[in-house]
Amino acid sequence: MRVPVLLSALLMGLAPDVAALAETPAKIAPVKIGVLNDRSGVYADISGEGSVVAARMAVEDFRPQGHDLVVEVVAGDHQNKPAVGAALARVWYDREGVDAIFDVPTSSVALAIHQVTREKNKVFVDSGAGTADLTGPDCSPNTVHWTFDTVALANGTGGAMVKRGGDTWFFVTADYAFGEAVQRDTTALILRNGGKVLGSVKTPFPASDFAPFLRQAQGSGAKVIGLANAGGDTIGAVREAARLKLTEGGQALAGLLIFSSDIHSLTPKVAQGLVLTEPFYWDLNDGTRAFSDRFARRFSGRKPTAAQAGVYAGVLHYLKAVAALRAVDDGRQIVAKMKELPTDDPLFGKGTIRADGRKIHDMYLFEVKKPAESKGEWDLYRVLATIPGSEAFRPLDQGGCPLVVKAAQADGARP
């Protein structure tokens, strides 16, 4: 039980200087941050231990001692299983004093954590999952969706492929929440622009053999084969597509969620020419390069992924809100403060968090360089276009989030 300073002093028989106490900021209880992700499976390179490194760097850069804060970072493996993730979140919240959970790739797990966090009135800042449902009809006053989502990926990669003449599609889709969401959102974009979806096939998650699914896509005659998967599944699908020489037959391959770690594993020789959308790349500007060099020195020479960058920026902004409120107990209050404060960090620049919990920043359309163009191990992308955040993400009034209606009503009630 946290005893107020004045009462504590009186119980100890002291005579406190009431005026002095009134001028002294209240002590904040220790802040405990949990980084929950895939540490051993298909998404370990996307997030994993690298996200823990990013979280600790954010804590150090925030300099909690200067804000009279003590911050601890813990980590856990959700094994890409919603039940495992939800159970661990409950233990963290109920028994281990965790105040906020970060990262959580795998949309089905993220949706489970989203609900547990709301129930426990804690904070969830997602940087690893893609489903735009986190800010849709089931949006929560306890959740911020930081890095990307399926709508932004569809608007970026899907939009670019359609503009290039890719008006017929076949989807190879991971059989879980993210795959379904990104196929849904990309399909909507294709149809709006006069294109057609000729078919789709669901793959097990994770999948070990993509050959039969890609042959089905090849047989469809679609101009574009959309890979609605991520991480190790995307790597496996792209490698198999190269072996089957799909692109040599005139079909284009669209990776709807690809991270720099995936391209690094594939190498530009295999992945050259792939068009993809990301909100972060280590070589974008001086700020991203400086951070990425520091990160690489701590993490075996590896450059950070967008998910790991999102953990860094999200933790930094969360701590700013905690310091501003001088409190850590009320998750809804903290998320409200996060929405109130403008975001600003060296990785995503200036931005905002909307009423539905969607973090708004620019997205980038990249193309994987040819081997002859790459000047080093991590020199992977060239920028095709910058997509302003206002165009990349779903319009605020189209997601069906009840929090948006409440915010609009509150604005209307103000004089």
Q: What is the CATH number of domain 27-148+286-361?
A: 3.40.50.2300
DSSP letters, 196-237, are: EEEEEEEE-SS-S--HHHHHHHHHHT-SEEEEE--HHHHHHH
27-148+286-361 and 151-278+363-392: identical CATH topology: yes
Write out the chain's pLDDT in tens, 415 residues. 343 333 333 333 344 444 443 444 556 789 999 999 999 999 999 999 999 999 999 999 999 999 999 999 999 999 999 999 999 999 999 999 999 999 999 999 999 999 999 999 999 999 999 999 999 999 999 999 999 999 999 999 999 999 989 999 999 999 999 999 999 999 999 999 999 999 999 999 989 999 999 999 999 999 999 999 998 999 999 999 999 998 888 999 999 999 999 999 999 999 998 989 999 999 999 999 999 999 999 999 999 999 999 999 999 999 999 999 999 999 999 999 999 999 999 999 999 999 999 999 999 999 999 999 999 999 999 999 999 999 999 999 999 999 998 766 665 544 4
pLDDT at residue 363, as a whole number: 96
- Domain regions of the chain by residue span: 27-148+286-361, 151-278+363-392
What lies within 8 Å, CB to CB, of 319 at 6+ separation is 31, 58, 59, 62, 64, 67, 69, 71
Q: Is 412 exposed, middle or buried (0-12, 13-18, 19+ CB in 10 A)?
A: exposed
pLDDT at residue 27, as a whole number: 67
**Domain 151-278+363-392 belongs to what architecture?**
3-Layer(aba) Sandwich (3.40)
pTM as predicted: 0.90
pLDDT at residue 21, as a whole number: 37
